[in-house]
Every structure is written in C-alpha cells, then in structure tokens.
Structure 1
Amino acid sequence: MKTIVIGAGLGGLLSAARLSKAGHEVEVFERLPVTGGRFTNLNYKGFQLSSGAFHMLPSGPGGPLALFLKEVGASVNIVRSEMTTVRVPLKKGNPDYVKGFKDISFNDFHSLLSYKDRMKIALLIVSTRKNRPSGSTLHAWIKSQVNDEWLIKFADSFCGWALSLKSNEVPVEEVFEIIENMYRFGGPGVPRGGCKGIIDALEAIILANGGEIHTGQEVSKILVENGKATGIVAEGKNHESDIVISNLGHAATALLCGEALSRETGAEYLKMLETLQPSAGIKICLSANEPLVGHSGVLLTPYTRRINGINEVTQVDPSLAPPGKHLTMCHQYVAPENVRNLESEIEMGLADVKDIFPGKRYEVLLIQSYHDEWPVNRACSGTDPGNETPFSGLYVVGDGAKGKGGIEVEGVALGVVSVMGKILG
C-alpha cells in the first residue's frame, strides 16, 4: 500500500516510521530544506536550540511519545527529570525573605492554600476521578469550587507552560485528562540529543524500511476523486497513493483540497475550520556559566507577568551547549490580542527573567516567537477537531489534531496513534 505524508514534522515522521515498518511504501514531502519542523535543533553559537518545542517530553520515558518511539524501534534515550518545581514568594518573617522567593515541589502546590481549601481540594481530587467536571473552563471551575487567587495563578502558569493558554481558555475536561495522564505516565523527561535526536531516529527507521523523504518539495494540491484522496501534486508533478496523511493542520490541508471542499460534503468541515484558533508563545533562550534552574525538570513561575515555565536541558545532556555552558529556555504564553505587539511582550518576558534570576549572570542567546503560520499549536488544546477529514484516505496529524489529555508533543503522539488504529486496525 502506498502512503504519502505531507510535512516532515514530528507527527508526519511518526506516521511515516510506523507505516514503513508495517510494510507500506512511504514517501514524505517537506517544503523546507530540513526535516523536523518545530521539533528539531538549531545550531546557534554552539548551542543546540530547539526550533519550537522544548527539548523535553512532558510525560517523559513512560509517556505516549516515548512508548510510540519504542514501538517503532527508534533508538532514543529519554532521561526522566528528577523534579518539577514552583517558584513562590516568601512571606515577611521568613529568614530568607530578602531573597524574595523559594522553590517548592510541584506536588506541594496546595501548601499555599488555607487548611479549609486544602481539604476541599483533596476531596475534589477524589470525587472527580470518577465524575469528571465538564462544560466550563478550568478558570471558571476553580472559581466555583475554590475561589483562591493563588490557585488561579498556579493554573495559569501550568496552562501557559503546557499549552500556551490561560486557564480561562482551556476546557476543564481537557485539564483533567492531562492530570490523569501525568499520574499515569509520570513527569517530564529530556531526550539526549534534544528534539533532533528523536527526528534523526525516526528518519533512520523510515529510510531503513525503504521509505523516501523529499525536502525542498512543496505540496500544492491534494488529489481527490469520488470522495477519496488519491495522491498529491508536488513541484508540478503528480504522485499517486492509497492514503494521504497531512501534518499541516486542518486549515492548510483544506486549502490543498481546493475545489473538492466546495461541494456539499465539505460544508460542515469548512464551518468547523472557522472556529480553529492557534495558540501563540515566545521562547527566551539563555546561556550561563552556572546552572540557573539547578534541575532537569520544569520550573513554573506563577507570580511573573509573562514567563510561565523554564527548563535547563543541559542538566541531562551537556552536549546541547558548548563545554562549561548551560542552556536555559523560558516560555511565555501570548494572548491572541497581543500577537501584534510582540516587542512589548518580549520586554515583559525579559523583565521577568531578571526577577526570576536576581544576581545571576546570563546571556540572552535568542528570542523566538511562535504565531500565525508558525504557532505553538495550530489548534488550541482541548479544541482539536480530530484526525479525520471529509475524504476517505485523508488524515490530519500533528499539533492541529492532538489526542485528548496530551500536552504538546504527547498530544501529537496520541493523535498519530489514533490514525494508525484507523489505517492498520
């Protein structure tokens, strides 16, 4: 069976690796001169910066992406992070008050709540394991159950880091799926070699199984006949196939279908596309001669104006930076109304960095922004429209068609798993 994959990002290469291993004849077409998309490395001043996602798997070596990599035989060493911490302000009277803050374990976030609210949270956790809340945002649910400003800030920080959203933009049921997966799969982990370590391993599998990867080849059209995808047009040449998998998101995939979607069968799909909202973010990459975070997990920062989460991947893989240097990456959510005012957003993020690391010496290596055609996610988490399209044999994978409860790349992996189930049974 012949399968064509449009886009050599993480979702596309995961799909190609799995299908090539199952005996499919696979061709991947990528418009850029390199593979990986927003999940690869950028060599800058000897640092291996990431093109998009952090060099981190939110669910580590036990999560959906790691399990999928094992299934296809990808040789990737994913090291579990030793902790995730939350930075909180100190109260007057604390001996270290002059320093302004302390770091607590992620699991101790409730320690800043009143005793009454801690008990309420404990009861809610137990009761919601079977009866999941639904029909509201996480913010609205917290306000209705435990009206505590600290908890809102904590939720915003977590959602900002994990999803590039605020708690008032995430369906509460999606967050509970995420929490369930966190307990099921464990905390984050860092792949040795960073994002590119995973991309290289997937490419090796595709090529070893006879697949082909074409870079610098832009797909201009998806061919559709009698309601079925039959191939693509790339650089003016037709390529026939039995299945087409798009890693471009639903909106871009629909554009490639052209007039085929103007018929009655595509009306509902086109209406759905109007509701899609990408998420935006900014990443600030820092170089330092000493550790800034001090561990390989995530540092959440609920009391900052913009920065949501930070990680320091050189705690696991020093090769991601020049000898003696550390690579620290800070992520901040950007609200839709602020996308056109990125300079101001960056200034506030840089001010946050100074507050987070007072007295520390560091260099700002690079500031990267993700929005519009190069977003954090093509569809905000919790609003992904699934993997199917109006046409048989045409599926969408990637950050615009994530699985439920999957943070970023874990959601990409869950979406690919769903498509593989439909294709391979």
Structure 2
Amino acid sequence: MKTVVIGAGLGGLLSAARLSKAGHEVEVFERLPITGGRFTNLSYKGFQLSSGAFHMLPNGPGGPLACFLKEVEASVNIVRSEMTTVRVPLKKGNPDYVKGFKDISFNDFPSLLSYKDRMKIALLIVSTRKNRPSGSSLQAWIKSQVSDEWLIKFADSFCGWALSLKSDEVPVEEVFEIIENMYRFGGTGIPEGGCKGIIDALETVISANGGKIHTGQEVSKILIENGKAAGIIADDRIHDADLVISNLGHAATAVLCSEALSKEADAAYFKMVGTLQPSAGIKICLAADEPLVGHTGVLLTPYTRRINGVNEVTQADPELAPPGKHLTMCHQYVAPENVKNLESEIEMGLEDLKEIFPGKRYEVLLIQSYHDEWPVNRAASGTDPGNETPFSGLYVVGDGAKGKGGIEVEGVALGVMSVMEKVLG
C-alpha cells in the first residue's frame, strides 16, 4: 500500500515509522528544509535548544510516546525524572514569595490546604477515579468543591505548563484523563539527545524500512476521488497514494482538500475546524554555570505572574549544553487576548525569573513565542476533534488531533496510535 505523509513533525514521523514497518511504501513531504517541526533541536552557542516542545516527555519511559518508540524499534534512551516540585511561599497566602519560599513535592500540594479541605481532596481523588466529573472547566469544578485560592493557583500553574492553558479553559474531564494517565504511566522523563534524539531515531526506522523523506517540498493539494484520498500535489507533481496522513492539523488539512468539501456534511466539517482555537505560549531558555533547579523534573511556580513551569534538562543529559554548563527551560502561558502584546508578556516572564532564581547568575539564551500558525497546540487540549476527516483514507495526526488525556507529545502519540488501529487493525 502506498502512503503519503504530509509534514515531518513528530506525528508525521511516528506514523511513517509504524506504517513503513508494516510494509507500506511510505513517502513523507515536509515544506521546511529540516525535519521535526516543533520537536527538534536548535544548536546555539553549544547548547541544544528545542524548536518547540521541551526536551521532556510528560509520562517518561512508561508513557504512550515511549511505548510507541519501542514498538517501532526506535532506539531512544529516556531518563525518568526523579521528582516534580512546586514552589510555594513559606507563609500561606503571601504573594510576595521572594521574601521566603520553599519547594515541596508535587504530591504534597494539599499540605497548603486546611485540614478539612485536605480530607475532602483526598476523598475526591479516590472517588473521581471511578466517577469522573464533567460538564465544566477544571476551575469551575474546583470552586464547586473547595473554597481555597491556592488550588486555583496550583491548577493554573500545572495547566499552564502542561497544556498552555488556564484552568478555566480546560474541560475538567480532560484533566482527569491526564491524572489517570499519570497514575498509569508515571511522571516525566528526558530523552537523551533531546527532541532530535527521537526524530533521528524515527528517521532511521523509516529509512531502514524503505521509506523516503522529502524536505523543502510543500504540499499544495490533497487529491480526493469519489470521497476517498487518492494522493497529493507537491511542487506541481502528482503523487498517487492509497492513504494520506496529514500532520498539519484539521484546519490546514481542510484547506488542502477544500475543492472536494462540497457536501453539506463536509461543509460542516470545514466550519467546525475553522473554530478551533490554538494555544499560545512563550519559552525562555537560560544558560548557567550552576544548577538553577537542581533536579531532573519540573518546578511548578504557582505564585508567579507569568512563568508556569521550569525544567533543567542537563540534569538528565549534560550533553545538551557545553561542558560545565546547565540548560534551563521556562514556559509561560499566553492568553489569546495577549498574543498581540508579546513584548509585555516576555518582560513579565523575565521579571518572574529574577524572583524564581534570586541571587542566581544566568544568561538568557533564546526567547521563543508560539502562536497562530506556529502554536503550542493547533487545537487546545480537550477540544481536539479526533483523527478522522469526511474522506476515507485521509487522517489527521499531530498536536491538533491528540488522544484524550495526553499531555502535548504524549497526546500526539495517542492520536497516532488511534489512526494505526484504524489503518492496520
């Protein structure tokens, strides 16, 4: 079977690797001169920065992405993070945590609640594993259960780091799927070689199984015949195919086959994908001569104005920085109404870092923003419309078609798994 994959990002390469191993004749078309998209490395001053996602897998070596990599025999070593911590004020409720703060374990977040609320949260954690809440945002659900501003700050920090959303923008059912996956798969991990370590391993699998990857070739049209994908046009050349997988997100995919979207149901699909809201964020990369975080996991920062989470990837893989240096990556959520004020958002993030690391010396290596056509996610978590399209033989993968409860790249892997079940059975 001939398969064409549009886009050599993580979702596209995962699909190509699995299908090439299954005996498909696979060709990948990528408009950029490099592969990986928002999941590869950028070499700068001897540091291996990332083009998009952190050098981190939210569910580590036991998660969906790691399991998929093992399935296709992609050789990647993933180091399990030792802990995740939360920075909190020494005095409960003190917003000026610079005057005194401490880091507590992620699992100890209820310790800042009253005894009554701690007991209530403990009961809720147990009961909701079977009876999932639904029909509201995470923030609305929290407020209906516990009257404590700390929990909102904690939820905003976690959602900002994990999903680039605030807790009032995430469906509560999606968050509980995420929590269930944390129980099932475990916490974070860092792949040796960073994002590019995974991309290189997938390219090796694709090449070893006869697949081809074309860079610098943009797909201009998806060909549809009798309601079924029949191939693509790239650089004015027709490439026939029995199966087409798009890593571009639903909206861009719909544009490529817009001429065929004529039926009423198809038009409804086009209208639906046009309403998808991408999530936006800013990443600040720091270089330092000494550790800033001091462990391999995530540091969540609920009391900052903008920064949501920080991780120091060189704690797990020192080769991501020059000898004796540390690479620390900081993420902040950007609200849709603030996308046009990125300079102000960046300034607040930089001010946060002075307070997160008081007295520490570091260099700002690179500041990256993700929005519009180069977002954090093409569809905000919890709003993904699935992997199917109105046409048989045409599927969408990537960060606009994530699986339920999958944080970022874990969601991408879950979405690809879903497509593979449909295609390969």
For the criterion TM > 0.5, the same-fold answer is yes
Greater Cα offset, 118-127 or 5-14: 118-127
Question: What whole-Å deviation, never above 9, does each CA across 1:216-270 have from its counterpart, x for those lacking one?
Answer: 0000000001100000000000000000000000000000002111333412202
Question: What whole-Å deviation, never above 9, does each CA across 1:302-342 have from its counterpart, x for those lacking one?
Answer: 00000000000000111100111000000000000000000
How far residue 271 of structure 1 moved from its aligned partner, in angstroms, is 2.4
Q: Which residue of 2 aligns with 1:259?
A: 259
SS of corresponding position for 2:402: coil
Greater Cα offset, 200-209 or 267-276: 267-276
SS of corresponding position for 1:262: coil
Q: Which residue of 2 aligns with 1:385?
A: 385
Q: Quick one: distance in 2 between partners of 1:184 and 1:255?
A: 38
Q: Which residue of 2 aligns with 1:136?
A: 136
- For the 8 Å contact 2:98–2:356, the answer to whether it is kept is no
2:88 counterpart letter in structure 1: V
Q: Which residue of 1 aligns with 2:324?
A: 324
Q: Which residue of 2 aligns with 1:193?
A: 193
Matched, 1:175 2:210: no
Matched, 1:19 2:8: no
SS of corresponding position for 2:147: coil
1:299 counterpart letter in structure 2: L
2:255 counterpart letter in structure 1: L
Matched, 1:221 2:221: yes
2:339 counterpart letter in structure 1: V
5 Å-filtered alignment, 1:4-403, equals: 4-91=4-91, 100-403=100-403
The runs of at least 4 aligned residues of structure 1 exceeding 2 Å deviation read 262-265
SS of corresponding position for 1:303: coil
Q: Quick one: distance in 1 between partners of 2:176 and 2:99?
A: 35
SS of corresponding position for 1:48: strand
Q: Quick one: distance in 2 between partners of 1:33 and 1:262?
A: 34
- For the 8 Å contact 2:36–2:196, the answer to whether it is kept is yes
Q: Quick one: distance in 1 between partners of 2:285 and 2:55?
A: 12
1:270 counterpart letter in structure 2: F
Question: What whole-Å deviation, never above 9, does each CA across 1:353-372 have from its counterpart, x for those lacking one?
Answer: 00000000000000000000
Question: Unaligned regions of 5+ residues in structure 1, if any?
Answer: none
Q: Quick one: distance in 2 between partners of 1:127 and 1:268?
A: 38
Q: Quick one: distance in 1 between partners of 2:143 and 2:18?
A: 44
Q: Quick one: distance in 2 between partners of 1:98 and 1:262?
A: 59
SS of corresponding position for 1:167: coil
- For the 8 Å contact 2:41–2:49, the answer to whether it is kept is yes
2:285 counterpart letter in structure 1: C
1:273 counterpart letter in structure 2: V
1:417 counterpart letter in structure 2: M
Question: Unaligned regions of 5+ residues in structure 2, if any?
Answer: none
2:349 counterpart letter in structure 1: G
CA RMSD of aligned residues (A): 1.1
2:165 counterpart letter in structure 1: L
Q: Quick one: distance in 1 between partners of 2:46 and 2:287?
A: 11
- TM-aligned CA distance change 1:232 to 1:359, over 3 Å: same
TM-score relative to the length of structure 1:
0.98
Q: Quick one: distance in 1 between partners of 2:67 and 2:340?
A: 39
Identity value in percent:
88
How many correspondences in the alignment? 422
